[in-house]
Amino acid sequence: MEPNKVDCQVLENEGNENQEVNQVIPGYDSFHDYVRDTFDAIKFGIKSANGLPIESNFNYYSCFPSFLRVKNKNAKLLSDIMQHLLGTVGMKNQMSHCDIEEKFELLLEINDIFLDRANNLMDRECGINKDSEVELVVSRVTSQPINGGWNDQVCQPRVTENSQAISLLAGKNVQRPQLMFKDKIDNSSNPWCPRIKDKPNSLKPLAIYLEEGEDGEVFNHPYEYELDMFVPPGDQFEKSEPIKYKSLEETPLIIVKDPSDIKLLIEDLKRYTEIAVDLEHHFYRSFQGITCLMQISTRDTDYLIDTLSLRSELHELNEIFTKRTILKVFHGADLDIQWLQRDLSLYVVNMFDTHQAAKQLHLPYLSLAYLLKRYCNVDPDKHFQMADWRIRPLPEKLMKYAREDTHYLLYIKDVLKNALIDIANGQINILEAVYNRSTEICKKIYIKPVWKEKSCMIMYRKSQKMFNNRQLYALKELHKWRDQTAREEDDSIAYVLPNHMLLNIAETLPREMQGILACCDSIPPLVRQNLLKLHKIILKAREQPLIKPIIEEDIRQRLTQRSSVNNSEVWVHSRHDIPSGMEARADLPCLLDENNTLEKLISNVTIEHTVTVFDSPATSEDEEMEKNEQKVTGKKKKFVFVSPFERYKRVIPMIAEEEAQEREKQREEEENRLNELKKKEKELDENDTQKEKVEDNSLNLTSLETRNSYREKQESNETEDLREENITQNQKQIANNETVNLLRSRKKGEKDRIIKDLKKKDMMPSKAFDYKAVDFSTFQGGSKNTSNQTNFEQTMNHMFETSTKTDTSGYYVDKNLSSFRSENLTYSSFPILNSSNVTHDLIRFQENQEVDCFDLGRGLATILEWLFLINPNRTNVLNVQFLLSSRRQPRRVQVVIGEQFGLEWTDFQIERRTIVIVHGFLSNGQQSWINEMEKAFLQWEDVNVLVVDWSARSNTWDYYKAAVNTRVIGYQIARFLEHIENAISTRENDWGPLHLVGHSLGAHICGFAAKELKKKQSKWKIERITGLDPAQPCFRDVGFTMKLHKSDASFVDVIHTNGKLLSQIGLGLPEPIGHVDFYPNGGRSQPGCDSSSFEHLPIHLRVINKAVCSHGRSYVYLTESLVSEVKHNCTFWAHHWDLSYRNLIQRVETELCDKNICTEMGINAINYPQRGTFFVATSNVPPFCINDTRMINEVMTQLKRDYADEHYD
């Protein structure tokens, strides 16, 4: 409808009969006729819509094709009409992609736009002209002098004749840009959700999920992992000659306001390695604020980007902003980073903040205006400092002011970078701190403002007013109303109701509505619109009682603030203040003085001190002499000042002694309780024996199941607890060759059948075999035996002797095991923990998850199950030791979980990387390979090293028990790390990464520890887990929650050195379980591990020794990679391999290796982007690194044996 065809008034001129009547709308002589027919059509449409079937009737009619055809046709017609209306008002949304609520909201916006257009056209037709251009309004602000400053003349800038006052530039009729945004602004209290849909330059796929923050739930940072892994390029740390900027006249200015211009902008920015960025923001007419303009400058060009019109398209700039090789220079980017996320879905990687650099240089001022004046001799024009940046088109002066913010910034960055290197005497540590701080700013996440009562009280405290209960109630309710109204209207709280007006209304509490308006010097529009609501709030506040008590702390704080000016001596002087450079006075008044009134009141009461810091012993002669001297001279007793830290050190031995006594007392109580339970168990066993004899006389054969069920009815709960707690003692009694008794009667011929099965599987040892010939100390890859290591030889000899003794049943066990119930004899397996409810008393395993450890079959596995009791130890029985060391403190310090944590006596620093080393089966924390690895880590980097020693009472020759205890040890490690986290909770939240290293069973322990930390939602993130040939028995055919898995950490690398099948004496897992799995020399056996064979066993001992040696070669390779990294003399290159012999011969052996194809095994594996399985070639003698992927002859021969089937194929 065009403006010149609108009739605002219908003029009827009956005198002029020859005048032609023009048709306003085709087919209608007047507008009223058109309106009448339109209303008739609308009423008919509503009536027809109401006549449509609903609910079950609609479903019934939908079964008829004719009804569906008509319905779909009209639905498509309505959708096309709505899409046409969207195009008419200039919206680019697609109706087909919106749900019903969004369609309804879009229709409401379309109606509003049409009504606004109609009003404007009718006003214009009636002669009311409204200029569409923005009318600029300038309000000058005079600078207020600072009173009371001793250096006000020095610090204040000089006012010259040419200087201009700061002005506020605004527009009278600026349209609200948020009405035209494609994305609806959400001012609710729900967490702000990132709108990013694509993630360029990513190291990790895009994932948006909720996290628990300080103020509730917040969404994660999409580029958090990339920022954690970011390291600035080396050229950014080099000193260079600053590149002089061009003048504004010589530099072209490009305005970007069309979507097609964004592609050209991106292509131009790709040519540069550094750019300067700044934003202009508006917050007065928006609740959260709006980013109105973006400035980007290169060495050659200045860009001004209209972020209001390109709000939904500028996310494409992530290709530049997240590129690690392009440096983005900001000044004071703390808020800019959050505005970019909120409005433009932009994130920054690799940033240099000149504000942080100026702070490190200790400049007197940190503003951009000061840097421009100091380094570029440019005075920025402050005339438009507080301009309304929503104005379109931008005036020339605003454009000039905006481009100056980034035009000189690259040159300033060069000067500041050189200055940072100079003050560090040529080092880069200060410059690196600026980059680190800038990266931390990039990790900030935008959080929407949420109303809290605390914010209201903060405003009240700053006002220094004294309110009664009514006034406080009115203040809180008005403050809450203002926040709700600002969210609904999308206006700032300052626009809805300024603070001084809110305080004035709450203090006055006017009875009438006009009184509310009188409290405002200039009445805000929204106050006038909601005057009735405000009046109801005031009336309700006047109904509140006056005598309701106010919080005492608030009253005391108000009084202190009021009297701060008049009575400054109260806070200026304190009798216990000790100026620097002066010694503490010993005659200060103190509660310990004898003349003190409080002490006189209780002088007749004798109190026995538990901790005496100042008191001398009761029998001290010096104290008696001092008292006599005091009576004679009349002088006061002088006390020596003792600092709080000195008191703390004096108290520690007393507390430690009390804790030791308490532990000894608990141990004695536990022993007494166990002795009583043993007596009860012995009585029950004797009763069972008598009853069994009676049953044997009545029945010739009693099955095992019947006897066990009868025993279950007789046993008490105390006996069950005893059997769980005495598992370790029972195993020791077997090893000490104590008296053994018959456990249960066996069926006739069962022993012969079991022995026959063992012979079929070649598992029956020779009677002539000498176990002393086996060097079991090499089980950990050749480590030397220590005093803490289990005597495996003695145990095996005893088991062999015990197994040769027979009687009618053929099997003997310890007498304490005779009461073990048949329900624990599960099929060839031990249960793995699947419950996260790990308590301090006992971890109970579910019997429905069973794993065949050795693939022996049901009968043999039942016997092994019976011999090796597999219930886990209690956590307080395991006695896990945690030993900390560092470069400054290379000697290990044991830290115990308890009240006296002892972390302060170590050199542990949370900012450093923390390495956790966990040993495996039949090992301990004093093994030589752990000492060598610890030393290599400390030489490699300044790290914290934590050695976990779990050998004391859990790592026994019973592999079943050790395997079950892995989850318990993992829980203990997670609990220890949680204690560290709690101990340093008051420090700066700058957590260094965690790197867990575990060998054999220790690798699975690391996985369990990582899982427990995730459940605890720890702030300490596990960056990496290195599995050194993770143990295979009992862990192969289980789910990923029951063993080490790549989901346990951000990066999991595994070194497989003995990954054969268990039937081929393979001790390590053969299948890949990490992000990167390395298979040195094929991963089944390692060169250089051969030894002489013995003829006592059907299987040569050479095979066993080679398996043990290969199993331990994994930690040797890791240690050697650390040493090589320090010396820079060799690299374990790894070629991608699909675990087949054909691929090994065709590609791995023939193709050359470089950084683009290969990766590196060892400590640097995390620095490469390649993922998958890799082949590594090593030497057969130390040093094993050969800096190549070509294989030696011994490896080729071994691979042909290991892959015999594939080789002949």
SS3 218: strand
SS3 916: strand
Question: Using alpha carbons only, how large is the chain's radius of gyration in Å?
Answer: 41
Q: Cβ(813)–Cβ(807) under 8 Å?
A: no
1162 is written with which tokens?
């060892």
pLDDT at 864: 55
Q: Cβ(953)–Cβ(980) under 8 Å?
A: no
646 is written with which tokens?
């000195």
CATH (residue range 188-442) = 3.30.420.10
Q: Cβ(322)–Cβ(200) under 8 Å?
A: yes
Nearest to 1206 by CA among 1158, 1139, 1121: 1139
Q: How far apart are CA 1069 and CA 409, in angstroms?
A: 56
Q: Cβ(1106)–Cβ(1014) under 8 Å?
A: no
502 Cα distance to chain centroid: 41
Residues 6+ apart with CB under 8 A from 258: 310
Residues 6+ apart with CB under 8 A from 532: 513
Q: How far apart are CA 1177 and CA 898, in angstroms?
A: 47
pLDDT at 247: 93
211 is written with which tokens?
């996290």
Q: Cβ(646)–Cβ(595) under 8 Å?
A: no
Secondary structure element (H or E) that encloses residue 815, with its range: none
Provide the greatest CA pair distance for the chain.
Answer: 140
755 is written with which tokens?
């022995």
Give DSSP secondary structure letters for 619-668.
T-HHHHHHHHHHHHH-PPPP-----HHHHHHHHHHHHHHHHHHHHHHHHH
Length of the chain: 1209
pLDDT at 1181: 86
Phi, psi dihedral angles at 445 (to 5 degrees):
-120, 135
Q: For the chain (length 1209 residues), average pLDDT per consecutive 10?
A: 40 43 70 85 86 84 87 87 83 76 82 83 71 53 46 42 50 79 88 92 91 85 94 93 93 94 95 96 92 96 95 94 96 95 96 96 92 91 74 88 93 96 93 96 94 88 90 94 95 93 94 92 91 94 79 50 41 43 49 46 45 46 54 56 79 86 89 84 72 48 39 44 45 39 46 70 57 47 39 40 36 33 32 37 38 53 53 63 91 78 79 93 90 94 93 70 87 89 66 93 94 86 93 85 92 92 77 94 85 45 77 93 89 88 75 79 92 90 79 75 60
Sign of CA dihedral 818, 821, 824, 827: positive
Cα torsion through 1015, 1114, 1037, 1173, rounded to 10: 90
Q: Cβ(519)–Cβ(501) under 8 Å?
A: yes
Mapping DSSP onto H, E and C, the string for 856-868 reads CCHHHHHHHHHHC
Q: How far apart are CA 1067 and CA 1055, in angstroms?
A: 13
SS3 206: coil
pLDDT at 483: 96
CATH architecture observed for domain 453-551: Orthogonal Bundle (1.10)
What residue spans define the domains of the chain? 3-125, 188-442, 453-551
